[in-house]
Chains A and B, each alone.
Chain A
């Protein structure tokens, strides 16, 4: 089956024929990635989304970082910083942090579960185009890996002042970053639209 698509970065038209699994097509003019054919894309994405959800729950409930200075211990969870910012009157910043490290990753995983679970059993989830468009729109706003770098910087900054003890949530958060990256990489958008064309 061959189809014509326009490069999303320079608008050049390309005809893409059948490609082997794992092969990718690049724009001959600007080099943009046009399409990559992925193996068992929908099943793998679904598996990563399920694993991610479990790690997400761990990351948000277990202790995150503890701060020990002499006899005093300050124990925190992932949400503590966001709440403190909110209490200090930095509401916009608090909401932005909440959005980029908690709400967006959650909605990405929940959205994909909502779409891919029914599709696996050849059923159409209501509102597929809108939900799928929304999940794709969220993509640039997921910033967990940037937050991880922030954890490292903060730990080094406080090193001389106190002892920082990372809790379970730090490690599950780190694992979640890799799972979400794998989930995003496994998803073949084209296969979702193919299913939609086939089932509706």
Chain B
């Protein structure tokens, strides 16, 4: 493998997002289509920074009701008891189920916040044209892409609980409104990570080295 210290950006080329075919960039206006797979071609993901910001802000807005409102309500013999994500974690700690408390806390509280913070850091560093530790920043981006899906675990737990604990008057579990807001947070942050273009991290480096 030989290595050409050049990018497609400064070489008049364009790489297909979908099939990775490298083509000569055509200068005429309008959207260029990949000659092999037909996908629309962009040098960088379109409006990457604006889109990612918009999605991060909406995720933050949804994050509040996701944590304040109840995610489940247990109705047993006429009595109703509601739990939020955090009160569920506290219940597991009190009853000594540490591993489960940790799984829910990491997946539902820690990961979404971490993911949003990393994306904010990446956006600010790209907007300030920083060339600071580009390789580590790319790694951070890969982490956000990988871990986001695991936040869905609490939604799946609720799905299984409502199916199993459905014994009429004796015991029934209902999903609460936080289930909706929380799944919105997960989906929106996944789209936010997808709309960020990691090549933006390296673009400043290429221009500062000539």
Contact = CB atoms under 8 A, between A and B. Distances in A.
Interface stretch (B48-56, B57-65, B115-123, B161-169): B161-169
A149 B37 contact: no
B interface, over-half SS: helix
A93 B155 contact: yes
Given A97-B159, A153-B103, A129 B135 contact: no
Interface string B170-206: 1100110001100110010010001000110111001
Interface in A70-91: 72, 74, 76, 80-82, 84-85, 88, 90
Contacts of A21: none
A197 B36 contact: yes
Interface residues of A, number: 64
Contacts of A25: 1
Contact of B37 (A8, A11, A133, A160): A133
Which of B18, B163, B198, B203 has most chain A Cβ within 10 Å? B163
Interface stretch (A39-47, A107-115, A140-148): A140-148
A160 B97 CA distance: 11
B138 A74 contact: no
B198 A156 contact: no
B163 A84 contact: yes
Interface in A99-124: 100-101
Given A17-B1, A129-B36, A153-B104, A30 B138 contact: yes
Interface in A120-170: 129-130, 132-133, 136, 140, 143, 146-147, 149-151, 153-154, 156-158, 160-161, 164
23 contacts: A5-B22, A6-B7, A8-B15, A10-B134, A10-B138, A11-B9, A12-B5, A13-B6, A14-B4, A15-B2, A15-B4, A25-B1, A72-B167, A85-B162, A88-B174, A101-B156, A129-B36, A129-B39, A130-B38, A143-B152, A146-B152, A150-B160, A158-B161
